[in-house]
Amino acid sequence: MIYSKVTRAMWGDRRFAQLSRLKPSGQALFLYLLTGPHTTPIPGVIPSMGIGVLADRLKWSRRSVHHAFRELERQEMAVADFNAGVLWLPNAIEHNSPRSPNAIRAMKHVVVPQCPLVITALLAIRDHLAAKPNAGPWLEAFADAFAVSFPDVVRDLVPVPELDLPPAVGRFRVTRIDRKAAQRIRETVAACPHDPPCESFTVCLEEIATKLAQDRHTVRARAGAH
């Protein structure tokens, strides 16, 4: 087992508070950002956070916080928009993936600023979900969570209206996110998974992407029937 659970309540524990404090460093700051009480259901996205807040909570000088955060930035372990008051840990989604579609839906209750950094973070989370073998329910939940507050990040997850066309064309459409997920899936197998094999790598990718889009449409259709 390579993971260990760390309770966020540790940072408020009376005995823990009486221990000698963390010295200012990049490692200490990263551990705090990753496990602190400020974490939200959106992996890696930390709202209402800035240099001053971190300095107050860690009992460091603002200068020390700034230097430690620059270390994280240089290693691409953290990104900040201090004007909007939000931090993002790009790899958090890889190590703390939501356990169910309902966990995705819970993200809509987190108040985050509508800034470019949050949009970038949400797109990264969307790509992570799209790479799952059965991406349909996950992307459906993602669309439910952010369709109102961040319509741009879910726009191409919503199927086009049904048209008077053959089912393979009119009932769903293949999106950019489907093709990106197909690329990741195809890279995990040594050869074309179809029978008979596709005539080219590009055709294989499109077949996989079409199947992902069709699965998503089926999930939506079933949900609408209930």
CA separation for the pair 9, 3 (Å, rounded): 18
CA separation for the pair 129, 144 (Å, rounded): 14
CA angle 6, 77, 54 (to 5 degrees): 65
What pLDDT, on a 0 to 100 scale, did the predictor assign at position 4?
A: 64
Chain segment 130-167, per-residue pLDDT in tens: 888 888 888 889 988 888 888 878 876 644 333 333 34
Give the position of tokens 């950019």.
176
Indicate whether this model's pTM tops 0.85: no
What pLDDT, on a 0 to 100 scale, did the predictor assign at position 226?
A: 44
What pLDDT, on a 0 to 100 scale, did the predictor assign at position 180?
A: 73
pLDDT band at 3 (very low <50, low <70, confident <90, very high): low
Which domains are assigned to the chain?
8-88 (1.10.10.10), 159-226 (no CATH)
What pLDDT, on a 0 to 100 scale, did the predictor assign at position 217?
A: 65
Q: Which residue has the higher pLDDT, 127 or 179?
A: 127
Please say if the pLDDT value at position 87 is more than 90.
yes
Q: Which residue has the higher pLDDT, 211 or 90?
A: 90
Instruction: Average the pLDDT over 104-127 and give the result.
Output: 90
What pLDDT, on a 0 to 100 scale, did the predictor assign at position 163?
A: 32
Instruction: Average the pLDDT over 42-49 and give the result.
Output: 92
Instruction: Average the pLDDT over 181-205 and give the result.
Output: 77
Beta strand 45-47 pairing with 86-88: antiparallel
How many Cα atoms sit within 13 Å of 162 on the Cβ side?
Answer: 7
Strand-pairing partners, residue 80, are 87
Give the E-state strand segments of the chain in sequence order. 45-47, 79-81, 86-88
What pLDDT, on a 0 to 100 scale, did the predictor assign at position 147?
A: 84
Instruction: Average the pLDDT over 110-129 and give the result.
Output: 90
- Percentage of the chain exceeding pLDDT 70: 82
